[in-house]
Amino acid sequence: MALVVKKFGGSSVATTDKILNVAKRVLSDKQPDDKVVVVVSAMGDTTDDLIGLAQGIDAQPYQASYAREMDMLLTTGEQVSIALLAMAFQKLGQPAVSLTGSQIGMRTSSVHTKGRILSIDPSRVIQELDSGKVVVAAGFQGIDKFGDPVTLGRGGSDTSAVAIAGALKADTCEIFTDVDGIYSADPRIVKGARKMQEITYYEMLEMARLGAGVMQPRSVEVGQYFNIPIHVRSTFTDTPGTIIREDYTMEEKGFIIRGVAHDEKVAKFAILGVPNQPGVAHKVFASLSDANIDVDMIVQSIRNVDQNITDIVFTVEQNYVGEAKRVIDGVAEKLGAIGVVVEEDVAKVSIVGAGMLGAPGVAARMFGALAKQGVNIDIISTSEISISCLIKGEQLRTAVNAIHDEFFSND
């Protein structure tokens, strides 16, 4: 007997035929006494379509004042897919029950549209599994202490699945998606991207954080916390995928970098001409943090002409550009800034790899690859195992391919 958690993403359940196929696939893998929890996302582009509906009311629906209603809206997507998948199991003769985030006991923080899981009480799930049912659980959603639905951020069904696997001490956690594993770059952008057999939580978390949308970053953290190997694989084929785990177990070639990640959903803010004195950066970033807006790259530069003023430049997630602009306009006015400039046609390209720790010259190779293609670098930021460059959005494809060629073409 095994207790297994399987998650199917939006493209895997995009139509009722696909939902029936998911049910068939789960049953064909299931041993008679296996206990199975299937976590699903909303069908196809449903979440985007729901956001589109909200934009019909206000072009900027990601504002603090709408956040609760956005969650009320977005959680309906997963409610549709769980009901249909449970019906598909029943049609195939397998007893099944659909459960919402609330019913699976998923308690979250109250930060609407980007909640964090606080705890899971899986008693209902266990009771249903013990009665022989397949449990079909809604991904992406939980409830807060007020009983209100809260979503976990885009891609949050990955995190739901890994967290449920952790809470149940499941034997396996599989993430079924439209690619057959994790590649050295998004295979939709880089034709010669290479599939990995394994990747560490450490490197995958950095890839995900820097935009590799195949896994939500938080899901990798949760996997690491519970030390659950996560198998990312294709819904449509049987080929083994990629295992995300603590350490490499086989001789993967000693790549200096593991992959190239990119992020198009970035917006750049420049607050021009603020006083060059203590407390200014604090005022800017505290006001963004009060509005629950995450800031990514940050640069502050002194002006040569007038050392009494400085420019503060940073990036935020594009969804929050309207809310960030409102906050920053207020702060800029209070600080007597010359102005605020927002650019949305930017993107971030990054290299990731624990191997770069002991390898000098990696940054130079990355910048050289960009220079050869005439890609200008606007901002550079680094972490222990990554280097990121902010560039023009229209040059993203060229940049990702050039960097991938530089590091992967000669192996």
Residues that bind ligand ASP (CB under 6 A): 9-10, 41-42, 47, 77, 139-140, 154-158
Beta-strand runs (E) in 318-385: 339-352, 379-383
CB of 195: closest distance to ligand ADP in angstroms?
A: 8
Which does residue 61 bind out of ligand ADP, Mg ion, ligand ASP, none, counting CB within 5 to 8 angstroms by kind? none
From the list 75, 88, 76, 79, the residue with the least C-alpha distance to 18 is: 88
Q: Position 2: which residue type?
A: A
Half-sphere exposure of 313 (CA within 13 A, CB side): 15
CB of 110: closest distance to ligand ADP in angstroms?
A: 25
d(Cα 112, Cα 131) in Å, to the nearest integer?
34
Backbone angles phi, psi at 123, to 5 degrees: -60, -40
d(Cα 310, Cα 131) in Å, to the nearest integer?
65
Per CB under 6 A, 102 contacts ligand ADP: no
Nearer to ligand ADP, 188 or 326 (CB): 188
Nearer to Mg ion, 13 or 99 (CB): 13
Which does residue 196 bind out of ligand ADP, ligand ASP, Mg ion, none, counting CB within 5 to 8 angstroms by kind? none
Per CB under 6 A, 41 contacts ligand ADP: yes
d(Cα 32, Cα 51) in Å, to the nearest integer?
41
CB of 43: closest distance to ligand ASP in angstroms?
A: 9
What does the per-residue mask of binding to ligand ADP show for 149-188, with x meaning CB under 6 A? ------x---------------------xxx--xx-xxxx
Task: Map tokens 């998004």 to a residue.
Answer: 186
> How many residues would you count in the chain?
411
From the list 378, 377, 364, the residue with the least C-alpha distance to 407 is: 364
| Residue 115, SS3 per DSSP | coil
Task: Map tokens 């207020």 to a residue.
Answer: 330
CB of 318: closest distance to ligand ASP in angstroms?
A: 14
Nearer to ligand ASP, 151 or 224 (CB): 151
From the list 128, 61, 131, the residue with the least C-alpha distance to 100 is: 128
Which does residue 139 bind out of ligand ADP, Mg ion, ligand ASP, none, counting CB within 5 to 8 angstroms by kind? ligand ASP
Which does residue 179 bind out of ligand ASP, ligand ADP, Mg ion, none, counting CB within 5 to 8 angstroms by kind? ligand ADP
CB of 373: closest distance to ligand ADP in angstroms?
A: 20
244-263 residues near ligand ADP, rule: CB under 6 A: 259
CB of 215: closest distance to ligand ASP in angstroms?
A: 10
What DSSP character marks residue 33?
A: T
Nearer to ligand ASP, 101 or 156 (CB): 156
Which does residue 140 bind out of ligand ADP, Mg ion, ligand ASP, none, counting CB within 5 to 8 angstroms by kind? ligand ASP
- Residue 196 has which token pair? 């990995």
Our measurement of the distance from residue 107's CA atom to the centroid of its chain's CA atoms, rounded to an integer in Å, reads 20
Which does residue 182 bind out of Mg ion, ligand ASP, ligand ADP, none, counting CB within 5 to 8 angstroms by kind? ligand ADP
